[in-house]
Structure 1
Amino acid sequence: MATQHSRIEQHPDIMELRTRYAQASARPIAQATEGLGLLTGLYLAISPWVVGFNTSTTLTVSNLVTGLALAILALGFGSAYERTYGMGWVAGVIGVWTIISPWVVSGAPTTAGVIVSNVITGAVAVLLSLVTATMARTERV
Structure 2
Amino acid sequence: MATHPRIEEHPDLLAMRAHAMEVSAKPALQTAEGLTLLTGLYMAISPWVVGFNGNPLAVSNLVTGIALAVLALGFGSVYERTFGMGWVAAAIGAWTIISPWVVQHASATTGTIVSNTVTGAVAIVLGLMTTAMARAKRRP
TM-score computed with the length of structure 2 as normaliser: 0.90
Match of 2:104 in 1: 106
The Cα of 1:23 is off from its aligned counterpart by: 1.6
Whole-angstrom CA distance in 1 between matches of 2:4 and 2:57: 49
**What is the DSSP-based 3-state SS (H/G/I as helix, E as strand, rest coil) of the residue aligned with 1:54?**
coil
Deviates more, 1:16-25 or 1:59-68: 16-25
In the aligned structure 2, how far is the partner of 1:5 from the partner of 1:106? 58
Residue aligning to 1:30: 29
Rounded to whole Å, the distance in 2 between the matches of 1:12 and 1:127 is: 33
The alpha-carbon deviation at position 140 of structure 1 amounts to: 6.4
Question: Taking structure 1 as reference, are residues 103 and 110 closer, same or farther at Cα in structure 2, changes over 3 Å only?
Answer: closer
Where does structure 1 differ by over 6 angstroms across 4 or more consecutive aligned residues?
Answer: none
Quote how far apart the aligned CAs of 1:14 are.
3.8
Measure, in 2, the Cα distance between the counterparts of 1:139 and 1:84.
17
- Where in structure 1 are there 5+ consecutive unaligned residues? none
Distance between the aligned counterparts of 2:108 and 2:117, measured in 1?
15
Alignment pair present for 1:59 and 2:57: yes
Partner of residue 20, structure 2 = 21
The alpha-carbon deviation at position 16 of structure 1 amounts to 3.6
Letter in 1 for 2:135: R
Counterpart of 1:121 in structure 2: which amino acid? T
Which has the larger displacement, 18-27 or 93-102? Answer: 18-27
Give the count of matched residue pairs.
139
Q: Is the 8 A contact 1:37 1:71 kept in 2?
A: yes
By how many angstroms is 1:111 displaced?
Answer: 1.9
CA shift for structure 1 position 17 = 3.0
Change (3 A) 1:27 1:105: same
Counterpart of 1:108 in 2: which secondary structure?
helix
In 2, distance between residues paired with 1:33 and 1:139?
A: 19
Percent pairwise identity: 65
CA RMSD of aligned residues (A): 2.1
